[in-house]
Amino acid sequence: MGEENLNPRDAYRVMLRDYPDVLNIDQMCEVLSVSTKTGYAILKKGSVQHLKVGRSYRIPKAHLLTYLIGFAPGHTIRA
């Protein structure tokens, strides 16, 4: 299965399989290979849909995958 043929259902099943369905900020930053500061900036900007529970952020894996799939190869992700 080539990357160009990866639909959202397949992406959810294949990508990030070692992560829970709902990630915390540290897990999201690990997946994106960004600092915690950049991770919070991404959430504050609204680029990734998330839930705020008290003072904690919860990011559904499906929303993170939507964010990742939305970028074409070669594009830079800016916080």
Q: What is the pLDDT of residues 21-46, one digit of tens each?
A: 999 999 999 999 999 999 999 999 99
Closest to 50 in 3D by CA, of 64, 33, 70, 66: 64
* pLDDT reading at 2 higher than 50: no
Euclidean distance between CA atoms 5 and 21, whole angstroms: 23
| CB proximity list for 31: less than 8 A, separation 6 or greater | 16, 19, 23, 64
Query: If pLDDT is split at 50, 70 and 90, which confidence band does 16 have?
Result: confident
* pLDDT reading at 1 higher than 60: no
Determine contact, residues 36/25, Cβ cutoff 8 Å: yes
pTM of the model: 0.76
Euclidean distance between CA atoms 18 and 30, whole angstroms: 12
Residue 31, token pair as written in the block: 């997946």
